[in-house]
Structure 1
Amino acid sequence: MIAEEKMRAVVARGYGGSEVLKSVTVPLPEPGPGQVRIRVEAATVNPVDLVTRSGALVEAGLMAPREHTGIGWDVAGVVDRLGGGVTAFAPGQRVIGLRDLLDVSLGAYAEYLVLDATAVAPAPPGACPAAAATLPLNGLTALQSLDLLDLVTGDVVLVTGATGAVGGFAVELAARRGLRVVAQAGADDEECARSLGAEWVVGRDACDLAGDVRRLVPGGVAGALDTAGLGIRALAAVRTRGSYVTMVGGSAPPPLRGICVHQQWISADGGALAGLAAMDLSLRVADVLPLERAAEAHDRLAAGGIRGRLLLTPADEA
């Protein structure tokens, strides 16, 4: 009898603080038709991981309660095995990918991850695995949010939280689309915001955000991408009949003055991810920790003040 192959993974046993994250040994997953199995080299620690672990998504009715819950959305690694019908990738190829299913027993915090081939893209050329893993969730969120704003070349867009993980990509992508960017960021981050492509920078702690923005852009900006979840404060900076996007988890303000208000829900898109990977975007890594130190990574992210993303790697030498 052939012994079942096993792998290491970190899951949430129950819900609560970082102490519920446990290292377990589980069967090695097999790819089905249209899927690829990836040997994980790095997985990103994102705020949604903390929310998932806490049980807030169960309380919101977005997940069913589980004894073990998979954690981790985006990954960089090497294609290990192909499911039936997959021709776009080859074993040994370096890739990145995004898991956009909430309710799963295994996530990217693992030695191997199975994804639909349509959620996978070639890794950014020359990027190390840790840097490459920062792109899928945050880059696609920024890209899809800008698409929702539906702005045209020359329009002015406000990006709140402009040097955060999503905000940084949003500033960079907006500038590349020919948009003029007003970045909301702290004084220590002004240089970073401008290096990403912001034309103007307004203070992160300003009491009158709308007033500051409207002094720079009379009449208000054409759209706002509110990664910081400021709600009505950011909406007030938008011109009448403009557009506004907030992230999931943010409080969507009412559509005052005919403003189109959207809440961004991420979806995996291998084609769009391949486009992002080819763009030589700024990929910021704060630190890389072994998979077994996932709880520490969660605590550090919760404490705030992180520049870039924390990564987990199953490699023994990490």
Structure 2
Amino acid sequence: MKAIAYTEPGGPDVLEVMELPDPVPGPGEVVIRVRAAAVSPTDTMRRVGMRDVAGAEPPYVVGMDAAGMIESIGSDTDTDLEIGDAVMAIVVPNGSHGAYSEKIAVPVESVARIPDGASLIEASTLPMNGLTARLALDKLNLPAGSTIAVTGAAGAFGGYSVQLAKADGHTVVADASEADEELVASLGADVVLRRGEGFAAAVREKFPEGVDGMIDGSVQLDEIVPAAKDGATIVTIRGDKGERERGVKFWSIVVSKYAKNPEELDTLRQQAEDGVVTLRVAEALPMDQAPEAHRRLEAGGVRGRIVLEF
């Protein structure tokens, strides 16, 4: 099979098309013939060596979102999926195991059918970011009617966080640049405030006691602590943790904890079908244009996901 891989960390141009052995499904696994793989910031971080897996050997393949067709099913696999079914999957990269591949073997618990009415390209944008947003809200564990602030709301993770928080019955205050205000409002945010240094102060103007919880999709960290209520939790995706002033706590999440959560992944499928979450594709590019996809993502301003077609 062909895959987009690299042997040494570096810039986008280290990504190249390589021939790698076809995967064979083990017990409890399926092999997906990948047709689409979403490009996410975690992919670019791995490419530069920021999230290497200890002991992994080159060539390295990144990518955490795949969509395609079931090609084979391993022994002792309890599933109602059949060969030929259109599916999406979350992938936990390790060495040459990553979603930027023509074929990928994954645990069946990491797979769900694609939403009705969605293309494989659209479906590939949902698993990793959708499950990360679900995990963030589960970690906050706030009762319906709470107030949650989301930073980076125009991004994929932030956008899903806004939509899932609204589906859970929360009031959502979100940040946005002037250009993104209409987009973020369309995702369902109740209050949209200008992103940047003044965001925390603006939140306090609207909610004098602070918000009940926060999801920090744009990694503003301590800059947003003043917006949180005393003792509130801020969920972050970049490893920061610990207590700050007034008992405000940071809680770092890792989506791999939800990588074998078929119920949540299937719920996301249903929510996409019902219009609760929006599948946003910025652009689809052929697999051999992976370096260009990474350059565009790192340049900033991408709304939705760039997707590689295989």
1:89 to 81, 91, 96: 81
Q: How does 1:135-150 map to 2 (within 5 A)?
A: 135-150=126-141
Provide, for residues 91-129 of structure 1, a one-character-per-residue CA deviation record: whole Å limited to 9, x for no partner.
1111110112x4221311111111000111111111011
Q: Name 1:192's counterpart in structure 2.
A: 183
1:294 to 290, 302, 307: 290
Residue 271 of structure 1, CA deviation: 1.8
Q: Name 1:32's counterpart in structure 2.
A: 26
Are the equivalent residues in 2 in contact too, given 1:171–1:181 (CA < 8 A)? yes
Provide, for residues 53-76 of structure 1, a one-character-per-residue CA deviation record: whole Å limited to 9, x for no partner.
111224xxx433533111111101
1:115 to 90, 106, 110: 106
| Structure-1 separation of matches of 2:86 and 2:245 | 46
Q: Name 2:222's counterpart in structure 1.
A: 232
The normalised TM-score by structure 2 is 0.94
Are the equivalent residues in 2 in contact too, given 1:57–1:63 (CA < 8 A)? no
Residue 14 of structure 1, CA deviation: 1.1
| Structure-2 separation of matches of 1:148 and 1:90 | 34
Residue 248 of structure 1, CA deviation: 2.4
| Structure-2 separation of matches of 1:89 and 1:141 | 24
| Structure-2 separation of matches of 1:248 and 1:136 | 19
Residue 144 of structure 1, CA deviation: 0.3
1:214 aligns with 2:204: yes
Q: Name 1:3's counterpart in structure 2.
A: none
Aligned length: 302
| Structure-2 separation of matches of 1:204 and 1:175 | 20
Are the equivalent residues in 2 in contact too, given 1:231–1:252 (CA < 8 A)? no
Residue 41 of structure 1, CA deviation: 1.1
Are the equivalent residues in 1 in contact too, given 2:58–2:95 (CA < 8 A)? no
| Structure-2 separation of matches of 1:266 and 1:21 | 24
1:304 aligns with 2:300: yes
Residue 28 of structure 1, CA deviation: 1.2
Residue 253 of structure 1, CA deviation: 6.1
| Structure-1 separation of matches of 2:12 and 2:66 | 21
Q: Name 2:247's counterpart in structure 1.
A: 258
Query: Structure 1: which 5+ runs fail to align?
Result: 1-6
1:46 aligns with 2:40: yes
Residue 12 of structure 1, CA deviation: 1.4
Are the equivalent residues in 2 in contact too, given 1:11–1:68 (CA < 8 A)? yes
Q: Name 1:151's counterpart in structure 2.
A: 142
| Structure-2 separation of matches of 1:288 and 1:109 | 14
RMSD: 1.4
Equivalent position amino acid for 1:215 in 2 = E
Share of identical aligned residues, percent?
A: 39
| Structure-1 separation of matches of 2:109 and 2:166 | 28
| Structure-1 separation of matches of 2:173 and 2:201 | 13
Query: Structure 2: which 5+ runs fail to align?
Result: none
| Structure-2 separation of matches of 1:84 and 1:47 | 34
Q: Name 2:269's counterpart in structure 1.
A: 277
Residue 212 of structure 1, CA deviation: 0.6
SS at the partner of 2:20? strand
SS at the partner of 2:116? coil
Q: Name 1:19's counterpart in structure 2.
A: 13
Runs of 4+ in 1 over 6 A off after TM superposition: none
| Structure-2 separation of matches of 1:241 and 1:26 | 50
Are the equivalent residues in 2 in contact too, given 1:64–1:103 (CA < 8 A)? no
Equivalent position amino acid for 1:92 in 2 = G
Q: Name 1:133's counterpart in structure 2.
A: 124
